[in-house]
Amino acid sequence: MRGRIKKPLQAFAVACLFFYPGFAASQSVSGIAFVEAPERSSGRCTGSNAGDAIACAREKCVAGGAAAEDCKVIQYCYPSLWAADLLQQHKEGLHWHRYLCGWQSEGDLDSAIETACDGSVADYLAVCEVVAKWSPDGTRIAIAK
């Protein structure tokens, strides 16, 4: 008797997942990978798993002129949610990119950017500016200057 009841219940549970409105949207959740070859090239990709996103970002880094062995994974976030690339430069000239990702809303990301660039905390920075922002679906957002 249990075997007969169990199978219809399993089928019902699976059917409920496909008719649940959030299920289809959850299938498109992706991560974001940032790869850099310092002073040479970089790459950024989204993907449904870390391996694919990182491989894609590394390919873009190499396409930008760097050797594959120089293209290092800097950061990977899953889910990517709202993300940004900040250019930060020390007062003495050294510069780097800082990646922020995993923020629930654009407003939350903007607050994180403000905190990362806050002169009272990061008084060693001569430059701190947003290079790029991405929405959760990987769309690049125009930066207001």
Mean of per-residue pLDDT scores for the chain? 84
Q: Could you tell me if residue 21 is inside a domain?
A: no
- Chain CA centroid to CA 73, Å: 12
Q: Could you tell me if residue 19 is inside a domain?
A: no
Q: Could you tell me if residue 108 is inside a domain?
A: yes
The arithmetic mean of pLDDT across residues 123-145, rounded, is: 90
The arithmetic mean of pLDDT across residues 62-90, rounded, is: 96
The arithmetic mean of pLDDT across residues 119-142, rounded, is: 90
Q: Residue 22 is which amino acid?
A: G
Q: Could you tell me if residue 68 is inside a domain?
A: no
Q: What is the pLDDT of residue 29?
A: 72
User: Any idea of the CA torsion for 37, 41, 47, 49, to the nearest 10 degrees?
Assistant: -10
Q: Could you tell me if residue 139 is inside a domain?
A: yes
Q: Could you tell me if residue 57 is inside a domain?
A: no
The arithmetic mean of pLDDT across residues 9-31, rounded, is: 47
Residue 28 pLDDT level (bands cut at 50, 70, 90):
low
Query: Would you call 133 helix, strand, or coil by DSSP?
Result: strand
CB neighbour list of residue 91: distance below 8 Å, 6 or more residues apart: 124, 125, 126
Q: What is the pLDDT of residue 5?
A: 46
Q: What is the pLDDT of residue 122?
A: 79
What is the residue range of 137's domain?
A: 81-145
Q: Could you tell me if residue 112 is inside a domain?
A: yes
The total domain count for the chain is 1
Q: Could you tell me if residue 52 is inside a domain?
A: no
What is the pTM (predicted TM-score) of this model?
0.75
Rounded distance, CA 124 to CA 114, Å? 15
